[in-house]
Chains A and B, each alone.
Chain A
Amino acid sequence: MATVYLPDDAAAIAVGADRVAKALTEEAQKRGLELDIVRTGTRGMLFLEPLVEVEKDGVRTGYGPVAPGDVAGLFDADFLSGGDHDLALGAVEELDWFKNQTRVTFARVGRIDPLNLQQYEAEGGLKGLRKALEIGGEAVVEAVTESGLRGRGGAGFPTGIKWKTVLGRTEAEKYVVCNADEGDSGTFADRILMEGDPSTLIEGMAIAAVTVGAEDGFIYIRSEYPHAIAKTKAAAKAWEAAGWLGEDVLGSGKRFRFHVRTGAGSYVCGEESAMLESLEGKRGEVRAKPPIPAIHGLFGKPTVVNNVLSFAAVPQILADGAKSYAGYGMERSRGTTAWQLAGNIKHGGLYEAPFGITLRELVQEIGGGTLSGRPVRAVQVGGPLGAYLPESMLDLPMDYEAFIAAGAMVGHGGVVVFDDSVDMARQARFAMEFCAAESCGKCTPCRVGAVRGVETVDKIIAGSDVSENVALLEDLCETMTDGSLCAMGGLTPMPVTSALRWFSEDFDVGGKTR
């Protein structure tokens, strides 16, 4: 029987992967061939989806992007034996886009059947958890600290320090919570991992739990990700059946129960304290800090809250050693992360690479510039609360501190490209509009400031008292930055002020300002 690999990642399905699967099955039947279609995660080369792969002599050859109408032709070209065809790409892992990555966290994504635990273990899975059980909590915290891993959700707080705080608490009840409320536009790395290799995430959470002494773990997945929710639930079930989760984790005598929870369409619930409120069944209103969740978290108990990619990095850190992970990156940004190339980009997708790669490499070399073929004018990094950067800033290295110094942030690694048709005053308006729509309403600078921000940008766009209104907008941004309870109101000014700073001509209606 011939085997073909085809992603069932949501992005691949969005451009027809399920229809291609159906066409492959029907065409094989018509030709009297037996065909096994293994649905995998995506390789991250989303511009090639749906990407069909066939294996020959241990090497996977790719064809893509495949439309259902191409399928008969692929059979005619004997693609099952690696035959030549217009869509043939050659060995998938030898393609520059793939080969030049440093796949650590995403090493298995796109290769394995996401729910096949034997394959998971055969490809290095469980090594980290076994190691954690063997060396104990203190040593795990030490390794995670030494690796230099920082929170991948966007804040960049050292993961080891967070874990150490929870480990040091004496309360009997503690929790581990995974923030999978990946709401930033331009980001999809959490989703791709949950759909393509959910076991790595579960393993990372299990390591955190046995390390700090928590017996229950919750993952909060946004409702916009039904495929990720289904995969994570299915994987957790398989883990329980295998005895890797539950009352006796891998025969260690330790208990770890895994709970999947679904969000309900609220961006602010990606803020950790709002997420905890939501997990408790309440309105997703942020909590004032301190106390921090590590001390007073879910249900008031000490809680490790980390992003999907932070947890998912840990198994490999333990398996390969902290030094190996810390060997990647630059300055205080250690390791690799998943850069997500999105928006108006020719070769969009997920690209795992160490920190220090430049924005220009990501956008121009790897991403191939804009999809429209027009010049790149602005790049928004770090989601809707991140700065808009001009073409002249593209040599910035992807590094937490370098971005902060430039008035920007790396965030969750999303890179959204705009061509020269973008109107930056409109984008500034949208930043305020989005904040007004998604503010939890708890603090005034965010709740009221966002509405006033939209009104003020509207006046600027209409050409009314432009310089006065620009000054007013800048003043409002300062109030929101300094006075908001959380990053929602506190960082909404970042896209606005960066647009004013780098693209002032778009606010300069009739030359009335500056």
Chain B
Amino acid sequence: MSDHHEVTSIARGARGRAPGNSDALLEILHAIQERFGYVPESAIALIAEELNLSRAEVHGVVTFYHDFRSEPAGRSVVKLCRAEACQAVGSETVAAEAEQKFGVRFGQTSADGAVTLETIYCLGNCALGPSALVDGELYGRVTADTLAELVSERAAASKTNGAG
């Protein structure tokens, strides 16, 4: 499978560049998630081999960090900040309404695969909250309505691109 070659070449590339050896692990996992959208189970053994680590060690790192997913996300990923500064301007209301609007709970992907809703703690936009990342783009002063609009705009845009 060509994915295997790609995982190995990503691991080898990062390992070669970084000083030391296994300290490249986080960079490799970021690169793999960037490429595949998640860290496939099958990648763990390959990375372990490249870095001379056990599979348990790699698995331990993948599961420690919130960023790494073990399965693909929805077509849009909404990460709403639910830390104190955003709470102070109503992020919990936005959170409850967003769950209603998208028909999905935090930490889950909607049944149609359209949206993954996630909690994030602080985006460094604490004077202009509530803040959210929608597919990696930062937005301030969000409401559940703006989040829904952003997601549908993106869905419409990707449909157009897909057709063209």
Contacts and interface: CB of A to CB of B under 8 A. Distances in A.
A279 B25 CA distance: 9
B131 interface: yes
Interface in A22-64: 46-47, 49
Given A281-B61, A284-B64, A11 B121 contact: no
A14 B128 contact: yes
B84 A427 contact: yes
Nearest to B126: A342
A89 interface: no
Contact of A281 (B23, B127, B128, B139): B23
Interface in B11-55: 19-20, 22-27, 29-30, 51
Nearest to B17: A259
B85 A15 contact: no
B77 interface: no
Nearest to A433: B82
Interface in A438-474: 438, 440
A188 B84 contact: no
B68 interface: yes
B124 A191 contact: yes
Given A264-B30, A281-B26, A11 B127 contact: yes
A34 B88 CA distance: 43
Interface string A413-441: 01011110010000100100010011010
A430 B126 contact: no
Interface string B135-151: 01011110000000000
Interface string A260-285: 01111111000000000011111111
A264 B29 contact: yes
Interface string B56-89: 0100110011111000000000000101111111
A232 interface: no
Interface in A267-313: 267, 278-285, 299
Contact of B140 (A14, A422, A434): A14
B126 A340 contact: yes
Contact of A224 (B23, B29, B87, B124): B124
A344 B88 contact: yes
Interface residues of A, number: 64
Interface SS majority for chain A: mixed
Given A343-B89, A380-B84, A430-B87, A267 B121 contact: yes
A266 B65 contact: yes
A265 B123 contact: no
B128 A15 contact: yes
A364 interface: no
B108 interface: no
Nearest to B121: A267
B104 interface: no
Contact of B122 (A185, A281, A437): A185
B69 to A, nearest CB: 11
Nearest to A419: B88
A10 B67 contact: no
A226 interface: yes
B35 to A, nearest CB: 15
Interface string A216-243: 1000000111111000000000000000
B131 to A, nearest CB: 7
The residue in A280, A343, A419, A430 that gathers the most chain B C-beta atoms within 10 A of its C-beta is A343
Contacts of A282: 22, 25, 57, 61
A265 B66 contact: yes
Closest 5 CB pairs of A and B: A348-B127, A185-B83, A343-B88, A265-B66, A342-B126
Given A11-B128, A265-B66, A281-B51, 12 more contacts: A14-B138, A183-B122, A185-B122, A278-B26, A281-B23, A282-B61, A283-B61, A299-B20, A342-B85, A348-B126, A417-B88, A430-B84
29 contacts: A10-B138, A14-B138, A49-B128, A182-B124, A183-B121, A184-B122, A185-B84, A185-B121, A186-B83, A187-B122, A187-B124, A187-B126, A188-B126, A191-B124, A216-B19, A224-B120, A224-B124, A264-B29, A281-B26, A282-B22, A299-B23, A342-B85, A342-B127, A343-B88, A348-B128, A371-B89, A427-B84, A427-B87, A437-B121
